[in-house]
Copies of this chain bind each other. A is one copy, B any other.
Amino acid sequence: MTIMDRLYKESIAKGPICVGLDTTLKFLPQYLISKDWSDGEKITEFNKKIIDATEDLAATYKVQIACYEALGLDGLSAYSATVKYARNKGKIVIGDVKRGDISSTGDQYAKGHFSGDFEVDIMTVNAYMGEDAVSPYYPYLRDHSKGLFVLQRTSNPSAVDVQNLKVGDQSVYQIMGDNIEKWGKDFMGESGFSAIGAVVGLTRPEEFEAIQDQCPHTFFLVPGYGAQGGTGEDIAEILKRSRCAVVNSSRGLITGHQKAGCEDEGFADYVRKATLAMKEDILQWL
């Protein structure tokens, strides 16, 4: 069973929910801010409580490493503690690291994020440098049940600067989709999806359906729910055709307590409620 098989199964069993731990200090409740701990320790505690409160609802957790790098070594200690905590609970963890480098340098990133302090199950990858930025991970996909999500079509406005450029009658993101299907052929799982998935945003549902048709063996990580405009109904339309995706929400979930004005130890109950609401918002249409 590949990691993408496991993720597929989790997305069926628990719902297609990816809880995004893009944790910054401004999201922390007051009782944590006032502790006599390092910033990294406060963030770790915040994340652990969220994982405890949502583990039965989340198919996976995505941890955005940029938020941790911003705090230097202390922040990366929190990243390490967070991914370890979730993985020790048997959860699938996606390192949203968007790394992209080649040959011996790519090997170093593979080692860094698929073993040791920062080990995750799946990492996000940027393939502007082509297959050379993806192939360093192949031994880990083959021998250590790891997976990738390669950036294909992102939901930000200027994604069109590169991704929507027209090459003949195809867009760059469609060519990237063909490549992801091709690269994944050697890493197929029993679910029908390969261990090389893709990141595709949800800003244009009709675009997503075309990508889905073009890439039938690709499992998708979908940002864009909530804060970025995608609705539960949009997602359900896609999942009705194939259960080929998990949907990420970060701020929309992990600031649930702030919207409710809760600054004490009960904060994670509100994150749970927000996660449950997201799940129901999607599943009601399925």
Residues of A near any B CB (own CB < 8 A): 22, 24, 64, 66-67, 69-73, 75-77, 80, 98-106, 108-109, 111-113, 116-118, 126-133, 151, 154, 156-163, 165-168, 172, 175-176, 179
Contact = CB atoms under 8 A, between A and B. Distances in A.
A89 B154 CA distance: 41
Of listed A105, A127, A172, residue having the most chain B CB within 10 A: A105
A159 B176 contact: no
Nearest to A179: B161
A162 B66 contact: no
B156 A165 contact: no
A61 to B, nearest CB: 16
A77 B73 contact: yes
Given A70-B116, A72-B117, A130-B160, 19 more contacts: A66-B99, A66-B101, A66-B105, A66-B108, A70-B108, A71-B112, A72-B80, A76-B76, A98-B99, A100-B100, A102-B158, A127-B128, A129-B151, A129-B158, A129-B162, A129-B163, A130-B158, A132-B158, A161-B179
Nearest to A170: B165
Contacts of A166: 167-168
A66 B127 CA distance: 16
Given A66-B99, A70-B111, A128 B131 contact: no
Chain A, interface SS category: helix
A161 B72 CA distance: 34
B156 A117 contact: no
Given A98-B101, A105-B64, A158 B131 contact: yes
Nearest to A75: B112
Contact of A128 (B76, B105, B126): B126
A70 B128 contact: no
Those 8 A-B pairs whose CB atoms lie nearest each other, nearest first: A72-B117, A130-B158, A130-B161, A69-B112, A66-B108, A70-B108, A128-B128, A131-B158
Contacts of A70: 108-109, 111-112, 116
A131 B156 CA distance: 10
Contact of A113 (B69, B76, B172): B69
A157 B132 contact: yes
A129 B154 contact: yes
Of listed A77, A132, A156, A179, residue having the most chain B CB within 10 A: A156
B151 A128 contact: yes
A252 to B, nearest CB: 13
A142 to B, nearest CB: 19
5 contacts: A64-B108, A73-B80, A127-B161, A129-B158, A130-B159
